[in-house]
């Protein structure tokens, strides 16, 4: 399989927060890989903007070091030199007047203008206002905003209203990097491009669906931020919600930004309120190697969750009666993201009880080894009766994407190129964000009202025991968390 690279038109991309961690680790190395692939036109221009006092040469050295650390190894030295010549830098005061006229002087007419807000949400309004007042943005400009998109429904509405004062919804790209993953997009291709799965994609044939996003990292080093959000706000309200929408949505009339997002919005609005006994919160404990969550968060009485497991229902004709189990957490056994569609048992087994219980499971792996596996039941080879075993039909992308997937575009690469193309399909719309918060807020409010305390769990485990019971009560089991 050979990926086809489709070049984008010429552009000026301004990265506010251009010296920050996200720019260093993801945005700039990703842009360099797109340059090496030939997708970025040679005359494209990338401008870093931040408070740091740097000149063009200083910023190019910063980017050189970032690419050398995070940009992979499959490139020639002259490619990096050529890329760095496309870069510039301006010191800009996001809340003041300094640097804006100089930044405007670098922008060209008749090219796409995109502005990446790789800064905290508190600066979104200030930057958006100055882009308009200083004349940097035109009617075809695009802005890219990073999560968190608010802290709750009230702040999300206020943020959307602030951006809407200066930019049309068609110009706002709310980025969720999970939607840029190859497997996530392949999920739509598998569902809507094949006759095989779609007739079975409903409550009649699907027993339940599990969505797991497990991380091995702790919150050490960012505990102050994390303790104000928790797993529910940090992961469930956006990443897991988006995966749920793509699994549960109806086929859109066409692969068009608003058509796709309309169907995702319907899923969010069809979610039932979650009963308190259908949610488990957890907080990792200390072990021999490191401290626990409360030490990392620098809050000895913290009641913020580092783990959430929950059972949710989508009340529509397609999914009535089929539970969706969501699970995410820090300091778990392995780093793994998986969607598992567990199909129902055959209505009648002709092989007798000795054949055992066998179910088809479609496993969609988002990380670390992107791909899909369909479990099917076959006869165990050899004589001695009809013994059944489950074997996987492996649709791994490893071979197609090169060794360790290094040649695969990172999610940020794909999404930034979509911004330049003006394609919003993989970006969240304002009403979608608000609907997600409208569903999430009552769950969080109920924890506060009950003075709920997260259940402790061991680092390197699968989470608290109560999460296992959430499934056991229904006669089901979580799939093993493994890399």
Q: Which of 121-130, 204-213, 354-363 has the lowest mean pLDDT?
A: 354-363
Q: Which of 164-178, 341-355, 392-406 reaches the highest mean pLDDT?
A: 164-178
- The pTM assigned to this predicted structure is 0.91
Separation of alpha carbons 171 and 425, rounded Å: 13
Separation of alpha carbons 1 and 391, rounded Å: 24
Separation of alpha carbons 134 and 283, rounded Å: 47
Q: Is there a catalytic annotation at residue 277?
A: no
Is 92 strand, coil or helix? coil
Give residue-wise pLDDT tens across range 180-229. 888 888 888 888 888 888 899 999 999 999 999 999 999 998 888 899 99
Q: Give ∠ CA 166-170-171 in degrees, rounded to 5.
A: 50
Separation of alpha carbons 208 and 470, rounded Å: 13
Is 231 strand, coil or helix? helix
Any alpha helices (H) in 71-181, and if so which ranges?
77-84, 100-106, 124-133, 153-164
Q: For residue 478, which of 311, 269, 231 has the smallest C-alpha distance?
A: 311
Structure tokens at 169: 């919804």
Which of the two residues, 412 and 356, has the higher pLDDT score? Answer: 412
Structure tokens at 268: 């969010």
Q: Confidence class of residue 367 from pLDDT cuts 50, 70 and 90? A: confident
- If you average pLDDT over every residue of the chain, what do you get? 90
Q: Confidence class of residue 1 from pLDDT cuts 50, 70 and 90? A: very low
Separation of alpha carbons 284 and 457, rounded Å: 5
Out of 166, 177, 208, 239, pick the active-site residue: 239
pLDDT at 356: 67
For the cut 80, the answer to whether the pLDDT of residue 444 exceeds it is: yes
Strand partners, 364: 339, 372
pLDDT at 121: 87
Q: What is the CA radius of gyration of the chain?
A: 24
């Amino acid at each position: 399989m050979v990926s086809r690279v489709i070049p984008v038109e010429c552009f000026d991309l301004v990265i506010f927060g251009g010296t920050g961690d996200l720019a260093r680790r993801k945005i700039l190395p990703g842009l360099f890989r797109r340059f090496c692939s030939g997708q970025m036109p040679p005359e494209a221009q990338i401008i870093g903007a931040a408070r740091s006092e740097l000149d063009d040469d200083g910023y190019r050295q910063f980017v050189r070091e970032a690419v050398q650390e995070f940009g992979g190894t499959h490139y020639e030295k002259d490619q990096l030199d050529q890329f760095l010549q496309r870069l510039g830098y301006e010191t800009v005061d996001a809340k003041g007047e300094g640097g804006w006229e100089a930044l405007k002087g670098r922008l060209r007419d008749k090219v796409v203008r995109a502005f990446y807000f790789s800064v905290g949400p508190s600066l979104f309004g200030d930057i958006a206002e100055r882009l308009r007042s200083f004349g940097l943005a035109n009617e075809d400009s695009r802005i890219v905003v990073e999560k968190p998109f608010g802290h709750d429904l009230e702040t999300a509405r206020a943020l959307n209203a602030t951006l809407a004062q200066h930019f049309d919804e068609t110009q706002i790209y709310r980025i969720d990097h999970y939607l840029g993953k190859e497997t996530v997009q392949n999920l739509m291709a598998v569902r809507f491009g094949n006759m095989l799965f779609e007739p079975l994609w409903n409550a009649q044939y699907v027993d339940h669906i599990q969505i797991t996003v497990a991380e091995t990292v702790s919150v050490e080093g960012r505990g102050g931020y994390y303790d104000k959000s928790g797993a529910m706000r940090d992961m469930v309200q956006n990443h897991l919600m988006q995966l749920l929408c793509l699994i549960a949505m109806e086929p859109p009339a066409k692969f068009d930004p608003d058509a796709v997002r309309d169907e995702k919005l319907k899923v969010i609005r069809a979610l039932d309120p979650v009963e308190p006994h259908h949610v488990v919160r957890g907080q990792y404990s200390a072990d021999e190697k490191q401290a626990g969550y409360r030490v990392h968060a620098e809050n000895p009485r913290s009641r913020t969750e580092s783990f959430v497991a929950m059972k949710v229902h989508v009340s529509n004709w397609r999914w009535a009666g089929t539970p969706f189990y969501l699970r995410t957490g820090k300091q778990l056994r392995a780093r793994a993201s998986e969607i598992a569609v567990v199909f129902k048992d055959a209505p009648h087994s002709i092989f007798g009880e000795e054949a055992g219980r066998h179910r088809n499971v479609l496993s969609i792996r988002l990380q670390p080894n992107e791909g899909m596996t369909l479990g099917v039941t076959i006869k165990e080879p050899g004589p001695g009766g009809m013994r059944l075993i489950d074997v996987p039909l492996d649709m791994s992308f490893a071979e197609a994407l090169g060794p360790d997937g290094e040649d695969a575009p990172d999610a940020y690469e794909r999404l930034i190129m979509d911004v330049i193309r003006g394609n919003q399909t993989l970006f969240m719309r304002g009403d979608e964000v608000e609907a997600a918060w409208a569903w999430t807020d009552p769950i969080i409010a109920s924890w506060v009202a009950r003075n709920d305390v997260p259940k402790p769990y061991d680092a390197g485990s699968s989470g608290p025991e109560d999460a296992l019971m959430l499934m056991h009560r229904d006669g089901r089991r979580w799939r093993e968390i493994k890399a």
